Amino acid sequence: MNSWLLAAVLPWGVGAVVGRVGPRLARRVHPATATWCLTLVAFGVAAATAIGAAAAAVALVRPALWDASLPAELGLHTPGRVATVLLIGLPVLAALAAGIPVAWSAVNDLLAAKASWRRARPVDGVLIVDDPDPEAYAVPGRQGLVVLHTGLLAALAPVEQEVVLAHERSHLDRRHYAHVLLVRVATWLNPTLRSLAASIAEQVERWADEDAARAVGDRTVAARAIAKAALARSAVRSGRRPVARREPVLRATAGDATARATALMSPPLPAGRPLLVLVAALALALPVHSGWGAHAVESAYQKACEQFSQTVHGDAARR
């Protein structure tokens, strides 16, 4: 198989396998390790997908790049130079295109959050909003902000309120939003990774739960706070008509509250550092392999240019 074809196909095969087994493996290790593993493998597969697709595209349009008029118009002098520019530019353009819908969604999340507390002022990075909807969420930014609704505070005891506050601060301190956004971009570049979007959202919530339990020093209290927050939200929303509204990504009541509370009632999962090292190696190897395929395409163009130049000069000498 041609190197560029293997570079183009391999990321899709790896992505299909990762998309199937990744979420299952993530539940077997500590959520911090799982979050980093999912992020790294998503980045590696997505980068390899973009590079491999560019290599395949340039290889397949090779006759067009050999047109002597194209380099002259672009001022790039040789088809080989055109190939180099495309092999670098196409993956960058693909990443930017994949980032547009993700950035749009993130901006909408931020605007929706700001709409609910436009008239209030935070204190020490915490904003309490007079809203009966029992909710709490983190708003990423230069300093970050934790938003707590009075409806949630009324449903929780003081120590349980500390759990929710520690949970949301963990989202900000650990920059969980960056993990979520990066995996979302990766799923746009390679749809076989689609299942990782839900898995990364689950793992960042469980990671924040672990940090909150450590902050209050009691896993049972943390589990009770998560369960009560989810029950309060469910009770309030079940008694009224559904309202179309955007839900903040990093919120205390996100995900399966029963599974999160059950995890907190059990001992912490193992760190799983060997798995992290293995995933990091895979995440690095995939784009390197695709880059090797792209380099092979570039080398083929350079050789074609040299042969073309020798042919032209030989014809001129014979004349």
What gap in Å lies between CA 181 and CA 71, rounded to an integer? 38
- pLDDT tens profile 9-33: 999 999 999 999 999 999 999 999 9
Residue 30 has a pLDDT of: 96
Query: Percentage of residues in the chain with pLDDT exceeding 90?
Result: 46
What gap in Å lies between CA 198 and CA 208, rounded to an integer? 16
Mean pLDDT to the nearest integer, 99-116? 76
C-alpha to C-alpha distances, 239 to 116, 128, 232, 235, nearest whole angstrom: 21, 23, 11, 7
Residue whose C-alpha is closest to residue 29's, from 283, 213, 263, 281: 263
Query: What distance lies between CA 238 and its chain's CA centroid?
Result: 32
Amino acid residing at 24: R
Residue 249 has a pLDDT of: 53
- pLDDT tens profile 141-158: 777 889 899 999 999 999
68 has pLDDT over 50: no
What is the C-alpha R_g of the chain? 26
Instruction: List, in sequence order, every residue forming a beta bridge with 128; answer none if it has no partner.
Output: 148
Residue 293 has a pLDDT of: 84
Instruction: Tell me the pLDDT band of 311, cut-offs 50, 70 and 90.
Output: low
Please state the length of the chain.
319
76 has pLDDT over 50: no
219 has pLDDT over 80: yes
Give the residue extent of every domain in the chain.
Answer: 3-318
Mean pLDDT to the nearest integer, 59-74? 54
Residue 220 has a pLDDT of: 95
Q: Nearest 5°: phi and psi at 42?
A: -65, -45
What gap in Å lies between CA 263 and CA 76, rounded to an integer? 59
The better pLDDT of the pair 148, 241 is held by 148
43 has pLDDT over 90: yes
- pLDDT tens profile 79-101: 566 677 778 888 888 888 888 88
pTM as predicted: 0.83
